[in-house]
Structures are given as structure tokens and as C-alpha cells.
Chain A
Amino acid sequence: MTETSSGRRLAVIGTATAALTAVAVFGVFFVAPEDADQGIIQKIFYFHVSIAIASLVAFGVGCVAGIRYLRSREQRHDDVSVIAVGLGLLFSVLVLLTGSIWAKASWGTWWVWGDPRLVTFLIVILLYAAYFVLRSSVEGERQRRYSAIFAIAAFASVPLSFYSVRVAQSFVHPVVFTQGGANMPSSMVVWYVVSQVAAIGLFLTMLQLELIQRRAERRLRALKLQLERALA
């Protein structure tokens, strides 16, 4: 991959994302109708849910890249995997933060054990933080291999965790706060979709940015070694 093409890709994805984000914010606040039950607080959901799904997309990318790494042992797949997992983790933290603010707005407390999405993301954060603990305790080629294995196992864990939390909660607190979903009027759905695409675009932009940097760092390191050896 040449340098100009990856830079160009960043420019295209980034600009599209920026435009989409602007359109989404405008649409969410000025066009989408206000929710009858929750009022303006409901507007948090457009980005809370979009970021949540974007983080799951990120973890999926990490898993797929891990599979490709195990098959090909090519460095670039490990690059994509580790960056994607890191971004997924960042987005998951954002999900918890925005979800917590919503909980405070709706229920007066900063945390509720009754919302399956919030609890699942807590588990997900623990899981993928462990990914980095694993990475830091293994070196060399094995680091990349084990990271790939864990990225795959962790991603398999996510739907299982979500489902088990939801089923367990429904016996104690019947799930009441899932807004939207199938019940959203189409005037809201369109702005949700726009925010969702924007969030995924944000992930892709950040991924591309970090990939470019990571490769640059690696080339520089190799160059440094080369020079030191040549001058010695």
C-alpha cells in the first residue's frame, strides 16, 4: 500500500464522517420529533446506541483481523486487530459514560443494574481491557498470535454475555427502559441510521489514522536500526 493511497483513504473517510456527523447532529436536534414519554432526554440515545453498535463493529473487525492474522501471519492484520480493539474499548467507555448520564437523567442514579446494555458493556470493558493485559505480558510473534486468539474468544463472549445478562435481568427487573427499537416512528429512525453510519465512519477514520501512524513508527524504528548498524 503506497503512502498517498492510505492518506487519500483517510481524507475521504474522514470528510464523509465529518459531514455525516454534522447532518446527524442537526437532524437529531432540529428535525427529529421529541419523544412523548422521555422528552428531550431521549435524544441521548441517538449517539449512545450508535456508539454502542460502532464499538461492537470495532470488536468484530478485531476478531476478523485476528482470524486473518492466524491464517497468514502477516503483520498488517495484527495492526488492524490491536487498533480496532483499542478503539472498541474507547467507544465502550463512551457508551458507559453516556448511558450513566441518561440513567441519572431518568432515574436519579448514576448506575442501574437493570439496563442490560449498560451491564453488558461493563463486562465487555473488563474483557477487552484483559486483551491489553495479555498483550503486555507476552512478547514477539507470540504476542500477536495470542492477541488474535483472545480477540476471537472475546468476540464470541459478547453475544453470550449480552443474552445472559438480559435473561437474568428479566426475572428480577422486567426490562422497561429499552426505548426505540421497533417502536421508533420512522421520523426518528432515519436520524438514528444517520448517526449510526456517522459513528461507524468515526471508527473507520480513527482506525485509518492510527494505522498510518503505526506503520510510520515501525518504519522509523527499522530505519533507526539500519542507520545505527551502518554507522557502527
Chain B
Amino acid sequence: MSSGSQFVVAAYAVILFVLVMYMVVVGMRSARIARDAELLARLAASPSDPDGVAADAQATAEAAEK
């Protein structure tokens, strides 16, 4: 590869890198939204039990049965 092409590739690589990192940041935001939605679902299901202890216990019991 000529030295000129190396620079061109480097420039496009930088653009790609930044865009992928942007996707990572957006993805992390999505993960947080999903986590919040999960928390709210649990709150709605059993209001006295926000940490989902009862739900966890039930899930473990169901998994043990299988």
C-alpha cells in the first residue's frame, strides 16, 4: 500500500471507529432504559417487593423443577 493510501484508510478507519463508539454509547443508554423498564415492571407486579425477592425466589424454584 502506498503511503498515500495508508492515510486515506486511516481517515476512514477513524470515522468508522467514532461511529461504532457512538453506537456503543447509544446501546448503553438502551440498556439503562431496559433496566428501568424491568424495575418498573417488578414494581407494578408486586408493589411491596421492589427488589423482586419474591419474583426471584419463584424463578429459582421454577428453574429447579426443570
Binding site for B on A (CB under 8 A): 39-41, 43-44, 47-48, 51, 90, 93-94, 97-98, 101-102, 104-105, 206, 209-210, 213, 216-217, 220-221, 223-224, 227, 231
Return the chain A residue nearest B13 by Cβ. Answer: A101
Total contacts A-B at CB 8 Å: 68
> Interface residues of B, CB < 8 Å — how many?
25
Binding site for A on B (CB under 8 A): 2-5, 7-8, 10-12, 14-15, 18, 22, 26, 29-30, 32-33, 36-37, 39-40, 43-44, 47
Rounded to whole angstroms, the CA-CA distance of A94 and B13 in the bound complex is 11
Specify which chain B residues have a CB less than 8 angstroms from the CB of A101 in the assembled complex.
Answer: 7, 10-11, 14
State whether A227 and B43 are in contact (beta carbons under 8 Å apart), knowing that A41-B4, A93-B18, A220-B37 are contacts in the complex: yes
* Contact status B7-A94, CB under 8 Å: no
Specify which chain A residues have a CB less than 8 angstroms from the CB of B2 in the assembled complex.
Answer: 40
* Contact status B15-A227, CB under 8 Å: no
**Which of B4, B18, B29, B37 meets A94, CB within 8 Å?**
B18
* Contact status B8-A231, CB under 8 Å: no
How close is A230's CB to chain B, nearest CB, in angstroms? 8
Rounded to whole angstroms, the CA-CA distance of A224 and B38 in the bound complex is 11
Rounded to whole angstroms, the CA-CA distance of A15 and B14 in the bound complex is 22
* Contact status A102-B7, CB under 8 Å: yes
* Contact status A47-B7, CB under 8 Å: no
State whether A105 and B4 are in contact (beta carbons under 8 Å apart), knowing that A47-B11, A47-B15 are contacts in the complex: yes
Return the chain B residue nearest A217 by Cβ. Answer: B33
